[in-house]
Structure 1
Amino acid sequence: MTPPGRTPAATDAPSLVGQRFEVEVGPVAHGGHCVARHDGRVLFVRHALPGERVLVEVTDGTEASRFLRADAVEVLQASKDRVKPPCAFAGPGRCGGCDWQHATPGAQRKLKVQVLTEQLRQLAKLTPAEAGWDGSVEPVGGKLPAGVVPQWRTRVQYAIDPVSGEAGLRRHRSHEVQPIDHCMIAAPGVSELGVEARSWNGMASVEAVAATGSSDRQVILTPREGARLPIVELDRPVSVQRIDDHGGVHRVHGRAFVRERAAGRTWRVSDGGFWQIHPEAPDLLVSAVLEGLDPQEGENALDLYCGVGLFAGALADQLGEDGAVLGIESSKQSVADARHNLADLIGDGRVRIECDRVERLLPRTGITETDLVVLDPPRSGAGRDTVRHLAGLTPRRIAYVACDPAALARDLAFFADAGYRPVSLRAFDLFPMTHHFECVAVLEPVAG
């Protein structure tokens, strides 16, 4: 199979890995890198900032490649937005988790603004104004000065070095492990477990979870084939689960779930199931969705890719006794959690949760119209067919929660074709130091 970005001939061409070039760094691109050019060929450069002059070292590509990947290994002319990375494990050839440790917090948000602006322009053919966006990526938890790293990540999956048993994180685009003694963006509840200080021989990964709605702490172990589970003794009480060779999750010790708190409810999240990893994200996103949809009593709503029921519960509370919400989720365990979390609303008929893929079940529901839709699809987006089906239900408003700006922009283009336009768009910096951010777009049918 030919690697992405290469022609078949490129796999046999002489490698350029390790070669160094001096380049002028151009604009930021989606994915945590900037664009540069050398001898007519595009380079995607990490650890650089727009406008800098740097010495790069090629990390991937051949003489026949359409583009090369490279790291900035020496800064010859620095941007005013550059700072010394606060993390000792950030930089070329090291941890691949944080893309923008070398930029001030304000500069990081500006880079994300540029990425979203470009994705909207290229894929949705929209200006920020046409998308209803004020052109900002909103800081979360207050603005931080340069050099201060927010500890926001409540779930961290550590990779385990197969030789030493040390916990670490993957290097960029690599299976190699960068051992670490502390992850600076990990939430205090994760760091206090002391995962990095232990040896994990025989394990492929150790995921640490620190609930923010309770004192629940959990580790999820993935053993290497044939390895026995270790006795887990960490610095705080913790429940333990393991993942088998087929991806199944099994309780070893303690609860099989953690308890989170958001939108006025306690939520059970089992088996390392999906929950927003920034502690402020669930309430923030619920607020943005409800503000955008403006639900009215007695209306009907769809919650697609509903996870453990966060938006379904919040909507049902607003729609009153005569309203109804249908949630659709493909994960069986998340559906079980959602039904547990929303048992009171399910009991009085205001919420129903079904288990299947959205694109498969939605056409089978027999629903011909609805008032409101909220969807929080995976990183790949909802896709043309699902968008077309949703538009055919003629909702008065749709709230689209997106973790990938390119997928959001593609789906906004599909919505435009189906007669819906964005009337507001907000972007939130829920993943500082990385290239990721979250968006909430609210759409309405085009008048006339």
Structure 2
Amino acid sequence: MTENWLGRVLELEIGPVAHGGHCVSRVDGRVVFVRHGLPGERVRAEVTEDKGGSFCRADAVEVLSASEHRVTPPCPVAAPGGCGGCDWQHADPAYQRSLKAAVVAEQLERLAGITRDVVVEPLDGGPLGWRSRVRLVAGRDGRAGLRAHHSHRVVPLDDCPIAVPGALEVALAKRWRPGTELEVTSDGDRHTHLREVSTVHGRNKSRQLSGGLAVQHAADRDWRFDAHGFWQVHPHAADTFAALVREWAEAPRGGVAWDLYAGVGLFASVLADQVGPSGHVLAVESGRQAVSDGERNLADLPQVSWRAGRVEHIVADAPQPVDVVVLDPPRKGAGRAVVDAIAAGSPDRIVYVACDPAALARDLATFADHGYSLTDLRAFDAFPMTHHVECIALLQ
């Protein structure tokens, strides 16, 4: 039986970056996933989680030999035992992007057999002040904060440097019922929307405290929709991604296109402009509020039709063939059923917007079974200071 290392302090050399915001080290035949360290550093790391088996998790609590890319984190709680919201505040922004690029390349090769050089591009605005959506939780003392990494423990906040400036002021100034969750959204006009979510007698109840209808500007349109529905978190992401979808989709005039996991229709609006009034865009989204918002926002585009429901069910019954498919699935990816249904439509081009490189790689491998290959890929640092990265892939 493997000895439990919880609380043990290990002196170790940190190896390569791995998916999930940590680096890999090895001690006595076991893998140690180390947070708050950088490749090549020598550190003392305290084991924070050990469930037995071949690996455990640890925090670098003392740096014995520092990387040239190490910097002082801009947030005092971005430290061992602190907030779990950020992974790489201790690395300079350019190096953060190189770590993410290495992760994307490794996932593509390991899970899809694709060898490709990857560059993660920054978005406008810099590495701080970008997060327009934050979900806070009130701790036992009623102060709002974020949870520690892999923990239910709440770390109270005085501010959050990656959040849009001023967005959290109201939520952080008050005391709340312990366990209350607070959804904060800052929209394109810098209006703050605050919703309280609490559990009463085992049931979730929500109350809009301010705002409710968000305004955004992207793809040459103004958008109005439920402030707590889906929209890109980084203020410059929606316009950047829509421009790339426009460049890669090349939907033919009078053609047929699908926008899957459509949200409120950002990419559907781009496709509708390409196919024109004589074409057709099918927008599929499981959230009924998003569909309602999308129908209202794109009411001037009769070539867009909306369906609410599970993508794999709706696409399986959709008219075929289709010229172009754009999909932006959740973090878990599309999965085999959706990929099979898309491939059955025989699109010439598929533009895949992905927020998780492992899920993207798994789906690319499934698309390859249907004869589709990756012809282009761009990656964006849409979530600076965290391990998350957005990739957009073109398949043909």
Q: TM-score range by the shorter chain?
A: over 0.9
> 1:168-209 CA distances to partner (integer Å, 9 max, x unpaired)?
111001110001100000012514x43212212355211111
CA apart distance, 1:368: 2.1
SS at match of 1:26: coil
Structure 1 pair 370/247, CA: closer, same or farther in 2 (3 Å)?
farther
Q: Match of 1:150?
A: 128
Residue of structure 1 equivalent to 2:11:
22
Q: What is aligned with 2:256? A: 300
Deviation at 1:261, TM superposition (A): 1.5
Equivalent residue for 1:75?
A: 63
Output the amino acid matched with 1:31. G
Alignment of structure 1 residues 34-433 onto 2, 5 Å: 34-62=23-51, 64-128=52-116, 135-141=118-124, 149-161=127-139, 163-191=140-168, 193-202=169-178, 204-212=180-188, 214-225=189-200, 246=203, 249=206, 252=208, 255-270=211-226, 272-345=228-301, 348=302, 350-365=303-318, 367-433=319-385
Check the 8 A contact 2:196/2:209 in 1, yes or no: no
Structure 2 unaligned blocks of 5 or more:
none
Aligned match of 1:437: 389
Mapped partners of 2:173, 2:209: distance in 1: 21
CA 1:337–1:58 in 2, change beyond 3 Å: closer, same or farther?
same
Q: Sort the Cα spacing of 1:377 and 1:55 in 2 relative to 1 into closer, same or farther, 3 A.
A: same
1:236: which partner in 2?
Answer: none
Q: Could you say if the C-alpha distance between residues 310 and 319 of structure 1 is closer, same or farther in structure 2, counting changes exceeding 3 Å?
A: same
| TM-score between the two structures when normalised by the length of structure 1 | 0.85
Q: CA offsets per residue over residues 111-147 of structure 1, 9 Å max, x none?
A: 001101100110010111xxxxx521001116x5xxx
Q: Secondary structure at the match of 2:300?
A: helix
Matched AA of 1:29:
A
Relative to structure 1, the CA distance from residue 247 to residue 281 in structure 2 (aligned partners, 3 Å threshold; closer, same or farther) is farther
> What SS does the aligned partner of 1:72 have?
strand
Asked if the contact 1:249/1:271 (under 8 Å) is kept, the reply is: no
Change (3 A) 1:325 1:33: same
> CA–CA distance in 2 between the matches of 1:59 and 1:42?
14
Q: Could you tell me whether the CA contact under 8 Å between 1:203 and 1:222 is conserved in 2?
A: no
Tell me which amino acid in the other structure corresponds to 2:195: I
2:180 counterpart SS class: strand
1:300, distance to aligned residue in structure 2 (A): 0.9
Deviation at residue 224 of structure 1 after TM alignment: 3.7
C-alpha separation in 2, matches of 1:424 and 1:246: 46
- Which ranges in structure 1 are unaligned for 5 or more consecutive residues? 1-9, 129-133, 227-244
For 1:38 and 1:392, how far apart are their aligned partners in 2? Answer: 48
- Contact 1:202–1:224 at 8 Å: present in 2 too? no
Work out whether residues 259 and 281 of structure 2, in 8 Å CA contact, stay in contact via their aligned partners in 1: yes
Kept in 2: contact 1:300–1:323 (CA 8 A): yes
CA deviation profile, 1:12-60 (whole Å, cap 9, x unmatched): x763211111111110000000000100000110001011111111111
Residues 393, 36 of structure 1: alpha-carbon distance in 2 compared, 3 angstrom cutoff: same
Per-residue deviation at 1:295? 2.5
- AA aligned to 1:88 is P
Which shows bigger deviation, 400-409 or 316-325?
316-325
Note the C-alpha offset of 1:268: 2.2
Q: Contact 1:113/1:135 (CA < 8 Å) preserved in 2?
A: yes
SS of the aligned residue for 1:343 comes to coil
Change (3 A) 1:203 1:135: closer
Residue pair 1:202, 1:223 contacting (<8 A) in 2 also: no
Q: Go from structure 1 to structure 2 and tell me whether the alpha carbon gap of 1:337 and 1:246 turns closer, same or farther (over 3 Å shift).
A: farther
How many residue pairs match? The answer is 396
CA displacement, residues 346-393 of structure 1 (integer Å, 9 cap, x when unaligned): xx3x0001000001221123x221000000001111111211221121
